[in-house]
Amino acid sequence: MKQPILAIQNLSADVEGRQILKGINLTIYPGEMHAIMGPNGSGKSTLAAILAGREGYNITGGEVIYCGQDLLALDPEERACEGVFLAFQYPVEIPGVNSTYFLKAAYNEIRKHRGLPELDAMEFLAFVTEKVKLLHLPEDLLKRPVNYGFSGGEKKRNEIFQMAVLEPKFAILDETDSGLDIDALKIVAHGVTTLKRPDNAQLVITHYQRLLNFIVPDFVHVLYDGRIVKSGGKELALELEETGYDGMIHATAAPA
C-alpha cells in the first residue's frame, strides 16, 4: 500500500480551555479528494487551522503524520514549503504588501526549500500570467495589495489562484465556495479539478452539495461536535441534503 499523504490519528484540541476537536481520525492517500461537511461551529476551520499550523490551539492528544513526518512539529512556513496549503475561509487583507511581490516571495521560498533556483521578477511574471487565466482573475488584482479591497468572491478566487501558483501536495479548501456566484463557483471548481494530480490530495470543507456537483469527491466525511461521525462516498452529501445534520446524527447515534 502506498504511503498516505495525511494520516490524522485521534486528534484532540482545546482552544482557551474548551475542547473543540474530540478525536479526529482521517487518512488521505495521493490522488484523493476528500470533502468535510458539518454544521457551524463543529470544528471544521479549527481542524484546517491546526493542519496549517496556526498558533493558539492546544493539542491534547493524537498525532498528524504528513508524508511520513510529524506535521504538528513543523512551523507553518515549513509546512507550506513541504506542500501544505490552506485556502482560508476568510482571507486576510494586507494593505501595503503588493500581491505579486508577496506571491513571488512565497513561491521562491518554496523553490528554495526544494533546492530549485529562485525565479526573478520577469520569469515569475510570465509564469503567473498563465495561472491568472486559469482562474479568470483580472490581472490588475495582482498589482494591488494582497486581498486589499477585493470583493468576497475575488478573495476566494485569489486563494485558488495562489494554490495554482504554489502547486501544493496537500490543499485544504475552507469554504472556498461560500460567497461565490454560480459562474465564479464553476471557475473555482474547474481550477481545483485541473490542479488535481495522482500525487497530490485535497480536503474540501463545504456546507453545500452544490460545490460537490462540480468537484466530485472520493470521500465525504461528516464532522459533528469535534468528531467525524460518518464517512462515505459522494452520495453521503446528497443524503445529508435530505436529512440534515440532526437527522443523520440521530440515525447514526442509535446503537445497532
Partner 1 sequence: MIMNETKPNGALAHRVTELSLNRTELALLERSADEPAWLLSARKVGRARFAELGLPTLHDEDWRFTNVAPIAKMVFKPRLEPGRHGVTEKVLSRFPFTALAGGQLVFVNGQFAPELSSLALLPAGVKVMSLAAVLATEPALVEPHLCRHARADSNAFTALNTTFFQDGAFIYVPAGQAVAEPIHLLFVSTAKDHGTTAHPRNLIVAGRGSRVTVIESYVSLSDAAYFTNAVTELVAGDNAVVEHLKFQDENQQAFHIATVAAHFGRASNVVTHSIALGAKLSRTNIYATLAGEGLECILNGLYLTRGEQLADHYMVVDHAQPHGASHEYFNGILADKSKGVFHGRILVRPGAQKTDAKQTNKNLLLSDDATADTKPQLEIYADDVKCTHGATIGQLNDESIFYLRARGIPREKARRMLIHAFAGEIIDRVRCAAVRQELDRLVWDRLEQNQKIEGSP
Q: Which is nearer to ligand ATP, 81 or 180 (by Cβ)?
A: 180
Going by C-beta distance under 8 Å and a sequence separation of 6 or more, which residues neighbour residue 248?
Answer: 222, 229, 230, 239, 240
Q: Which is nearer to Mg ion, 44 or 230 (by Cβ)?
A: 44
Tell me the closest approach of the beta carbon of residue 205 to ligand ATP, in angstroms. 7
Dihedrals φ, ψ of 43, to 5°?
Answer: 115, 10
| Residues at the interface with ligand ATP (CB under 6 A) | 15-16, 20, 38, 40-46, 56, 89
Q: Output the CA torsion sign for 120, 126, 127, 132.
A: positive
104 binds, options partner 1, Mg ion, ligand ATP, none, Cβ within 5 to 8 A by partner type: none
Q: Which is nearer to ligand ATP, 108 or 178 (by Cβ)?
A: 178
Residues 36-75 that bind partner 1 (CB under 8 A): 52-55, 75
Question: Distance between the two ends of the chain, CA-based, in angstroms?
Answer: 32
Q: How many CB atoms lie within 10 A of CB 207?
A: 15
Going by C-beta distance under 8 Å and a sequence separation of 6 or more, which residues neighbour residue 242?
Answer: none
Q: How far apart are CA 194 and CA 167, in angstroms?
A: 11
Q: Which is nearer to partner 1, 14 or 167 (by Cβ)?
A: 167
- Of 81-89, 108-116, 139-147, 150-158, the segment contacting Mg ion by CB under 5 A is 81-89
Is 13 one of the binding residues for partner 1 (CB under 8 A)?
no
Q: Are strands 219-224 and 227-232 parallel, antiparallel or unpaired?
A: antiparallel
Is 96 one of the binding residues for partner 1 (CB under 8 A)?
yes
Is 235 one of the binding residues for partner 1 (CB under 8 A)?
no
- Of 60-68, 101-109, 134-142, 193-201, the segment contacting partner 1 by CB under 8 A is 101-109
Is 149 one of the binding residues for partner 1 (CB under 8 A)?
no
Single residue of 70, 77, 118, 241 touching partner 1 by CB under 8 A: 77
Q: Which is nearer to Mg ion, 35 or 81 (by Cβ)?
A: 35
Q: How far apart are CA 116 and CA 252, in angstroms?
A: 50
Instruction: Tell me the chain's radius of gyration from C-alpha atoms.
Output: 18
